[in-house]
Amino acid sequence: MSGSDELAPVLTIDGPSGSGKGSISKRISEKLGWHYLDSGAIYRALGVAAIKNDIDISNEFEIAALIRRIDIEFKQSASGAWAAYLDGEQVQKKLQTEEVGNTASKIAIFPMVRRGLLAKQQGFQKAPGLVADGRDMGSVVFFNARHKVYLTASAEERGKRRYKQLIEKGISANLHNVIEDIEQRDERDKNRSASPLTVPDGAIYIDSSSSTIDEVVQQVLDSLDNK
Ligand code: DC
């Protein structure tokens, strides 16, 4: 399958860490009644598996082989919240840590890893539609998607948002380090040779630095109506 849009319409939302695409994509999928793919969670779950199995994360072959041995699933609880499961174990909380985010970003540079996760991501395309959030949703995984958005914000603004989230969760953090970390992750995500973070052809470009989540959600929904 090649990311064709015939199966069900797809809205791709790509952008760097902290651009707000997670909250915005989720909100839009709820409003449209469409499925939601958090592709970063799949890379993060693989990161959790690599750490757990003590895999050398610079070894592309080992990480690719790991994909074939593990089972990553997303299940909805009675309250409606979705959680990631790795080999049957709930790992949703682990996905949020900085260590796992950085590991995900490092293993995501490998072409064999990206190929190994492709079918899993494309399997989320089901009627009545899909909102897919990631780095290469509109450029690779669903390149035929009907609707594409590239969402960004300045590194400073994204760092401030991330810092606020960490403090709210009771995790101690240093703003300067958080911004530096975001810049390093951007650098890796944009400059890798395999499926780098890029503005997909035909995507609408939204800078959310000075917008609220609600404003961006509305802007994206308006753009769907106009197509
Ligand atoms: O969106 P996120 O922060 O949860 O993603 C974690 C890492 O996974 C990110 O730094 C890069 C990688 N990733 C990717 O390469 N391609 C995607 N479609 C989604 C995430």
Integer Cα distance of 77 and 80 in angstroms: 5
pLDDT at 3: 52
pLDDT in tens, 31-82: 999 999 999 999 999 999 999 999 999 999 999 999 999 999 999 888 878 8
Give the number of other CB atoms < 10 A from CB of residue 11.
26
The rounded Å distance from CA 34 to ligand 1 centre is 21
Which ranges constitute the DSSP H helices of 123-200? 155-168, 175-191
Give the pair of three-digit tokens for residue 191: 């400059």
Which of 38, 43, 110 gets mutated to test ligand 1 (max ligand atoms within 8 A of its CB)? 43
Is-contact 124 178, C-beta < 8 A?
A: no
Which of ligand 1's atoms lies nearest the C-alpha of 137? 18
Which residues does a 6 A CB cutoff place in the pocket of ligand 1? 17, 39-40, 43-44, 101, 104-105, 108, 134-136, 185, 189
pTM for the complete prediction? 0.91
The rounded Å distance from CA 105 to ligand 1 centre is 6
Using DSSP's 3-state secondary structure scheme, residue 109 falls into coil
Residue with CA at minimum distance from ligand 1 atom 15: 108
Cβ contacts of 8 within 8 Å, gap of 6 or more: 125, 126, 127, 128, 129, 130
Give the pair of three-digit tokens for residue 90: 């709930």
C-alpha R_g of the chain: 17
Q: What is the mean pLDDT of the chain?
A: 92
Domains, the chain, with CATH or none? 10-217 (3.40.50.300)
Integer Cα distance of 106 and 51 in angstroms: 12
The ranges of the chain with pLDDT < 70 are 1-5, 227
